[in-house]
Structure 1
Amino acid sequence: MKLVNTLYNLEFDLMENQILVLSIENHLTYRNILEELWKQYKGETGNFILSDGDKELKMSQRIECIYN
């Protein structure tokens, strides 16, 4: 699977049993990215695209958000 953010020009390959770590130093950017992920997790539209091959997937059905 692939996770892409069009606003920040980010692209991540997501693989089973591997952890992705993204370090964001700017506090405003960090807040915006978390807010965007949360909105899309709740089913709203946003700048993240989750896909498997050519098929776009709904983030609300495929991800878990754990904020600690």
Structure 2
Amino acid sequence: MRRLQRRTLVLTSESARHPFRRTLSPRVCTAPFPADVEAAENEQARCAWRLSGADWRGFLSAYCASLVAIVVFIA
């Protein structure tokens, strides 16, 4: 007869079918947050990524300075 081994410590999730998902920790595969918590987090993230006029001005000045430096270097 075949003897089954009993494992006391299982580091993988055997209910996951894909090999990559099997290696993830159990906290990664838990149920998602409720809808209201998820919506609040999305709104907070949307506000954090909003660009202001100073951001655009800084980006454009860095872009123009880099463009001028490259043109001067090539010419």
Q: Give me the TM-score of the superposition, normalised by structure 1.
A: 0.27
Which structure has more RCO (C-alpha within 8 Å, separation ≥ 6)? 1
Of the two, which has the highest radius of gyration?
Answer: 2
